[in-house]
Structure 1
């Protein structure tokens, strides 16, 4: 049984993301499989999804600018009624190819992460997509529980904490399988003005860290200016200021509408 899991809390994502992710997985996997969402609200989630309560924790999640530390709920000794290896996927990924190999690659007892292209000189995994045996990461949860804020400040991102401290170390999925939309699909400046973001050959999953969602990629433009054409974008580049103080990012990251994202990211 192939086991896919995701997690949802609060209202940032919710049923539309959960339902789309299930549909993408179902179209790109050979049965049998099980799709489990650990969540705090089941309203609006399609019946095929196995909804289970958020794993209980007895520590406070630190409020930080970096890292998605609520994922630490998944590191406990138990994960609902699941056992054995599970493949975790963020709710905002886009599945673009067959997923079967993610369940047979490497040792089933290992922690295997996708690669993080944002840090090319650091062997850093990405927890947008990673596989681990239920209970394997309990030592990480124990360490995090002892000093949540201290760990978050030391490592910055939960993926660095997992990469550096997973029992027995970590392995990485093949580079071609998981691609980063912003770093590996959008053409570099100034080619982004002329070329549509590409889907790299052999990509099975495209991840969207950094605040860009698949619907924004489909519409084009950039954050806060989704769907804007290049002319309107250039005309308004220096109208602001942008909340982070950088108008340059509008030019550097502007993207043409990306149809292949919309074709994949649907129920």
Structure 2
């Protein structure tokens, strides 16, 4: 597509993810890419980020953040007329993604001005994108940010999720990555209940990036737990007994029972600096 360095970008704001997530992303990228590349982080806190990562201040949203919505609307700042010193195609990767294969094809697939998203596998019958991993031409579609800033709550109410808004806003429509490249951990790797009590999550053949939208966190499932406050890889019966704690609703008991995962060695192998 171009002889310019391959550009991988991420966003870090707030306290949910520390600098180790950025540093880990850089390590994974460096092991799975050929030719010159740069990793760029847009953040509100640059402390602790390894020097090989280029950092820029995270652009201001420029409007009130929508209320009553689950979407990560802070990410729409990537669609402004300018974005740091970047130009041309850039590949965005969420910080809680695990890179397990070559990234090179993410830069050669399609045309330079294409917007290419992962499929939203939670709604497979709809042509919706998922923005855990997407490529876009920097500065090419500034109307996306401008329209959002003009009516942030209205946009959020109509689309609910930032990725649905992006899907509907790209002129000519989005493209989707080939099916096997970008895999959803819960939907493509984790065995269905109750098999997850007996089998570890698998790494699908041909996968390049495994995403974790909506959790759990890769660092937790690597050691066999669903949440950071849970014990590492508890015996199955101990976990099941936890659903009998007093005060839980039926829904909470069922959620606890299904949120069981055995340690996942391939995550520990790949998700490191």
Q: TM-score range with shorter-chain normalisation? A: over 0.9
Deviations 1:84-112 (A, max 9, x none): 00000001100000100000001111100
| Correspondences of 1:166-185 after superposition (within 5 Å) | 166-185=170-189
Aligned residue in 1 for 2:268: 262
Deviations 1:172-191 (A, max 9, x none): 00110000001111001111
1:96 is matched with which residue: 93, 100, 104?
100
Tell me how far apart the structure 2 counterparts of residues 83 and 163 of structure 1 sit (CA, whole Å): 21
Contact 2:33 2:104 in 1 (8 A): yes
Aligned residue in 2 for 1:234: 240
Counting matched residue pairs gives: 267
- In the alignment, structure 2 segments of 5+ residues that lack a partner are none
Matched, 1:80 2:84: yes
Aligned residue in 1 for 2:28: 24
Tell me how far apart the structure 2 counterparts of residues 3 and 246 of structure 1 sit (CA, whole Å): 42
Aligned residue in 2 for 1:143: 147
Tell me how far apart the structure 1 counterparts of residues 42 and 260 of structure 2 sit (CA, whole Å): 34
SS in 2 for 1:197: coil
Shift of 1:230: 1.1
Tell me how far apart the structure 1 counterparts of residues 36 and 231 of structure 2 sit (CA, whole Å): 38
Deviations 1:203-248 (A, max 9, x none): 0000011131111111213234342231210111221555995221
- In the alignment, structure 1 segments of 5+ residues that lack a partner are none
TM-score, normalization: structure 2?
Answer: 0.94
Contact 1:241 1:247 in 2 (8 A): no
Shift of 1:63: 3.4
CA RMSD of aligned residues (A): 1.6
Shift of 1:154: 1.2
Matched, 1:190 2:226: no
Tell me how far apart the structure 2 counterparts of residues 129 and 240 of structure 1 sit (CA, whole Å): 41
Tell me how far apart the structure 1 counterparts of residues 75 and 41 of structure 2 sit (CA, whole Å): 12
Shift of 1:64: 3.7
